[in-house]
Chains A and B, each alone.
Chain A
Amino acid sequence: MSTFEALTGDQSFATAMRQINPDVVAAYPITPQTETVEFFAEYVADGLVDTAFVTVESEHSAMSACIGASAAGARVMTATSANGLALMWEMVYIAASLRCPIVMSLVNRALSGPINIHCDHSDVMGMRDAGWIVLFSENNQEVYDNAFQAVRIAEHPDVLLPVAVCQDGFITSHAMERVEVYDDARVKAFIGTYKPQWPLLDIDHPKTFGPLDFYDYYYEHKRQQVLAMENALPVILDVAAEFNREFGRNYGLFEAYRLDDAEVAVVVTNSTAGTTRVVVDQLRAQGLKVGLLKLRVFRPFPARELADALRHLKAVAVMDRSISFGAMSNAGPLFLELAAALALHGVRLPMADYVFGLGGRDITPREIEPVFHDALRMAASGRAERMVTYLSVRE
């Protein structure tokens, strides 16, 4: 039997961790992720989990311990945010390169400076080439649900890559919402038992992890990571289909909301998708043909699927919660990648980028509504007036 509980986003992930009961968790506190690890430490102290909980001296050590434990054959989880992720940096790449199926809660926060502890996506966008699978979560239920799916995706024998489950710092991480918490036994059955193929602790079959790898084989190992990313897309869909059947949800690569008969759409991730959905309904009530595409899977980037979902539109507005400084027009990474995807998949329509919410600046329906009106103007004129708009920045 499921129960319905009032949980924060951090607590939602911690609850999932309790039910997953990972072999090893190594983490270091950083706002706004700290609560997750605090709650989990309680579960460890109360004997609700069997996890070896490693309290390390930094995030670099946290990810290092996770990698070691994963190589040993353990099911491993961790959590971090922004500057913590930055301090993990070299180990983030190594986790993916050594094919460690670690699941990490990444509570999105502005990557300084000046110092800021509030939400934007500059932390996760920095790791987009690191080789991790990246999932976004709109609300606490999605944080909770994504945690279980992440374990299945990461540990799939055709994938074996680490997965970051993102949510918006404070906006969902510290907001309490109603979350359906599934029965422990059902969750346990869904995630199954992790059967590592090459555990270091299998001492009858000694092996080496992380040896020197030069010009003769390094490139081949990178090519293998490409295959794993290619395999991840169908695996994510299979796992979502199974999850949807078992728990009555509707996960996929993205959510298309009122998109079928729309003329324009906003593409956005994480909590702002919820705010945008409200605006879509308001504008629909006025007879405007607008829709929403909420991206769930950012790595691997589902380029062809996105192109097919947006092909029938007359204009697209992308909302980016970070800036790729010095990139084309100083746009955001989501816009840049989507623009490339649409162009290369033969979708020609006017597009514009709307950077918003940096450092936790609030984004409300009042700011999102003009984005749809801009998109409708683009649809009418066939061109974008400006490639990038920095929403709500004071002149």
Chain B
Amino acid sequence: MAGLKGWREIPIGGMILEAGNAENYLTGGWRAFRPVRGQAECIHCFQCWLFCPDSSIMVDPVNEKMLGFDLQHCKGCGICAKVCPVNAKVIKNAGEELSRDDERLCIRMLVEGQVEE
């Protein structure tokens, strides 16, 4: 475990004194499903950003645009796709239950490792 600090160099009791350093801990490898953008037009409502439990929705706060997914940290829970109002509208218009990877959706969930993007 090269590069890790010794027991005299770290805060006691497992305390983390540096705020926000979970960003350095890459957890994208846990993912079984990957969110990708579908054909439906994103309305940049930020619902996905609001509900993502892991700050994995990348946004441009100045221009208020949703930019994409931070796949270094996204664990593929699919909450973004669930709360997406555009997805809801697409499903309603289709009049049927769509599969999570349906191309017509705004946020699609693909099986991780699937070649299609």
Chain B residues with CB under 8 Å of A216's CB are 1, 4
* Interface: A38 (CB within 8 A): no
A: number of interface residues (CB 8 Å): 24
Interface centre among B4, B5, B13, B19 (most CB of A within 10 A): B13
Contacts A216-B4, A220-B6, A221-B7; A205 near B14 (Cβ below 8 A): no
Contacts A217-B4, A221-B7, A223-B7; A99 near B12 (Cβ below 8 A): yes
Interchain CB contact under 8 A, B17 and A207: yes
Q: Would you give the shortest CB distance from B85 to chain A, in whole angstroms?
A: 33
Interchain CB contact under 8 A, B14 and A213: yes
Interchain CB contact under 8 A, A224 and B7: yes
* Interface: A194 (CB within 8 A): no
A206 to B14, CA, bound (A): 14
- Picked from B10, B18, B19, the residue with its CB within 8 Å of the CB of A217 is B10
**Interface SS of chain A: helix, strand, loop or mixed?**
loop
Q: How many A-B residue pairs have CB under 8 A?
A: 54
Interface centre among A160, A218, A221 (most CB of B within 10 A): A221
* Interface: B115 (CB within 8 A): no
Interchain CB contact under 8 A, B16 and A97: no
- Picked from A207, A218, A220, A223, the residue with its CB within 8 Å of the CB of B15 is A207
User: Which residues in chain B, 1-52, are within 8 Å of chain A measured between CB atoms?
Assistant: 1, 4-7, 10-19
Interchain CB contact under 8 A, B14 and A210: yes
Interchain CB contact under 8 A, A207 and B12: no
Q: Would you give the shortest CB distance from B87 to chain A, in whole angstroms?
A: 32
Interchain CB contact under 8 A, B19 and A220: no
A206 to B16, CA, bound (A): 9
Q: Would you give the shortest CB distance from A98 to chain B, in whole angstroms?
A: 5
A211 to B13, CA, bound (A): 10
B1 nearest CB neighbor, chain A only: A216
B-side residues, CB < 8 A to A, are 1, 4-7, 10-19
6 A-B residue contacts at CB 8 Å? A198-B15, A207-B18, A208-B16, A216-B4, A219-B7, A220-B5
| A-B interface, 7 closest residue pairs, ranked by CB to CB distance from nearest | A99-B13, A220-B7, A208-B16, A206-B19, A223-B7, A98-B13, A213-B14
